[in-house]
């Protein structure tokens, strides 16, 4: 497979494969059948990947990186095993063919559009805390500021608001309560123009509670998925501040992410809490690493945190001077030599250089 117009089909059942061939042809794409991808490049370069449950488990066992437009195909209503396989491989859809031909056609139409556009998509990063108050919102904002062009998405309605971290709480523009979607496709250019923007970052935050606006702790998972997909299709880095608790929105953020970043302070109790969080987070996306935030009152090293949490260390950082004062007066704005900015850049470099964390050591 050498061109992005090809769909990779990993389906053993011949009747089901014929049904898939028919839909792929109708979408104007060509299909390449295989037992499994011959290389990581083949997996990533396909316009879409269509696989059955057995192939999904094989691909998950190989540790292939998360990617867009992976669809688990079934000839009958999927059972628990099929759904488990879909989660393991990071499939965005589980479709029954021929009953859901129309839905498969929509996915393939998106794949055809991406192929015509060159297929350049921005990375999606989900950031969450290993324990309460670990600083995930601050680090997510730092990552968005460190990226060349970014969309910062607040998916933690219990976090106090990313606009307060960024300093955009008085800026006019779209917030979550203003966005009504049923999971449809969004135009990123239209979304970007409607959002508040500060320090080069477009931000979708919650309601401005301190200004007396109505608030809601509900973030619709379908709407969140549409926003993350729009930013990625728009070619920008999408940074999503996810809640440290299982929910449909958090599961959507984890499934969509190319990389999940867990932030934890460098002490034993925080690392123990992060280890518990890591168990369900890495189940949703195994491409998960940890950022260790100083100080370390007991001398705990990043490599020690990695062993406790059970995740590779993406970056470690010393305390950020004047952080609390900055957050109280105008929001976060980082100089290039600040510890936060340096750690954010290191995580972005890991994302670019190592699509899968099996290439990252215990103490990056």
User: What's the token pair of residue 54?
Assistant: 């057995």
Q: Summarize pLDDT for 217-264 with one digit per residue, the tens.
A: 578 888 898 899 889 888 899 999 999 989 999 999 998 898 999 999
For residue 13, give its domain range: 7-117
Residue 1 inside a domain? The answer is: no
The Cα angle at residue 189 between residues 67 and 178, in degrees rounded to 5: 95
Clarify whether residues 173 and 110 are in a common domain: no
For residue 260, the surrounding DSSP H or E stretch is strand 259-265
Beta-strand pair 6-10/93-96: unpaired
Clarify whether residues 88 and 155 are in a common domain: no
Q: Angle formed by the axes of helices 101-116 and 14-26, to 10°?
A: 50
Residues 6+ apart with CB under 8 A from 285: 66, 90, 126, 254, 255, 257, 260
Domain boundary among 117, 149, 166: 117
* Integer Cα distance of 294 and 319 in angstroms: 5
Spans of the chain below 50 pLDDT: 1-4, 182-183, 211, 355-364
Residue 364 inside a domain? The answer is: no
Residue 363 inside a domain? The answer is: no
- Decide: 139 and 343 in contact? Cβ < 8 Å: yes
Output the pLDDT for position 129.
Answer: 93
* Integer Cα distance of 145 and 205 in angstroms: 16
* Integer Cα distance of 215 and 206 in angstroms: 7
Burial class (CB in 10 A: 0-12, 13-18, 19+), 107: buried
Clarify whether residues 214 and 269 are in a common domain: yes
* Integer Cα distance of 147 and 344 in angstroms: 9
Residue 359 inside a domain? The answer is: no
The Cα angle at residue 317 between residues 311 and 323, in degrees rounded to 5: 125
User: What's the token pair of residue 216?
Assistant: 């809601």
Residue 361 inside a domain? The answer is: no
Running DSSP on this structure, what letter comes out for residue 10?
Answer: E
Output the pLDDT for position 361.
Answer: 41
Output the pLDDT for position 362.
Answer: 38
What's phi and psi for 81, nearest 5 deg? Answer: -65, -40
Domain boundary among 94, 117, 140: 117
User: What's the token pair of residue 90?
Assistant: 């990071």
Clarify whether residues 163 and 142 are in a common domain: yes
Clarify whether residues 249 and 302 are in a common domain: yes
Clarify whether residues 336 and 194 are in a common domain: yes
Domain boundary among 78, 93, 117: 117
Clarify whether residues 201 and 299 are in a common domain: yes
Clarify whether residues 143 and 60 are in a common domain: no
We report the CATH number of the domain holding residue 324 as 3.40.50.300
User: What's the token pair of residue 93?
Assistant: 């859809």
Clarify whether residues 36 and 143 are in a common domain: no
Clarify whether residues 224 and 307 are in a common domain: yes
Output the pLDDT for position 364.
Answer: 38
Nearest to 87 by CA among 284, 307, 316, 363: 284
What's phi and psi for 10, nearest 5 deg? Answer: -120, 75
Nearest to 73 by CA among 1, 7, 10: 10
Clarify whether residues 100 and 243 are in a common domain: no
We report the CATH number of the domain holding residue 33 as 3.40.50.2300
Residue 328 inside a domain? The answer is: yes
Residues 6+ apart with CB under 8 A from 173: 194, 195, 196, 197
Clarify whether residues 200 and 289 are in a common domain: yes
Residue 204 inside a domain? The answer is: yes
Output the pLDDT for position 363.
Answer: 36
Residue 358 inside a domain? The answer is: no
User: What's the token pair of residue 342?
Assistant: 């340096």
Output the pLDDT for position 11.
Answer: 94
State how many domains the chain has.
Answer: 2
């Amino acid at each position: 497979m050498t061109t992005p117009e090809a769909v990779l089909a990993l389906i053993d059942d011949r009747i089901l494969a014929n049904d898939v061939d028919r839909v792929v042809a109708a979408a104007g794409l060509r299909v390449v059948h295989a037992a499994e991808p011959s290389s990581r490049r083949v997996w990533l370069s396909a316009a879409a990947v269509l696989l059955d449950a057995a192939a999904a488990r094989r691909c998950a066992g190989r540790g292939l990186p998360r990617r867009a437009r992976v669809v688990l195909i079934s000839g009958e209503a999927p059972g628990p095993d099929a759904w488990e396989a879909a989660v393991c491989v990071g499939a965005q859809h589980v479709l029954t063919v021929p009953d859901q031909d129309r839905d498969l056609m929509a996915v393939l139409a998106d794949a055809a559009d991406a192929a015509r556009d060159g297929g350049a998509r921005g990375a999606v990063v989900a950031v969450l805390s290993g324990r309460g108050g670990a600083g995930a919102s601050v680090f997510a904002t730092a990552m968005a500021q460190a990226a060349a062009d970014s969309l910062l998405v607040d998916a933690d309605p219990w976090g106090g608001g990313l606009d307060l971290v960024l300093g955009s709480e008085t800026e006019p523009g779209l917030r979550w309560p203003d966005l009504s979607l049923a999971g449809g496709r969004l135009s990123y250019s239209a979304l970007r123009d409607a959002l508040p923007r500060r320090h080069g970052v477009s931000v979708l935050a919650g309601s401005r509670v301190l200004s007396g606006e109505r608030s809601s702790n509900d973030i619709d998972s379908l709407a969140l998925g549409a926003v993350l997909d729009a930013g990625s299709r728009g070619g920008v880095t999408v940074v999503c501040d996810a809640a440290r608790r299982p929910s449909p929105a958090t599961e959507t953020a984890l499934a969509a992410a190319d990389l999940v970043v867990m932030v934890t302070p460098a002490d034993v109790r925080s690392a123990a809490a992060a280890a518990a969080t890591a168990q369900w987070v890495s189940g949703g996306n195994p491409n998960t690493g940890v950022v260790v935030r100083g100080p370390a009152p007991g001398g705990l090293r990043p490599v020690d945190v990695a062993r406790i949490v059970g995740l590779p260390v993406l970056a470690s950082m010393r305390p950020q001077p004047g952080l609390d004062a900055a957050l109280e007066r105008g929001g976060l704005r980082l100089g290039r030599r600040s510890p936060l900015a340096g750690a954010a850049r290191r995580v972005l470099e890991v994302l670019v250089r190592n699509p899968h964390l099996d290439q990252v050591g215990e103490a990056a």
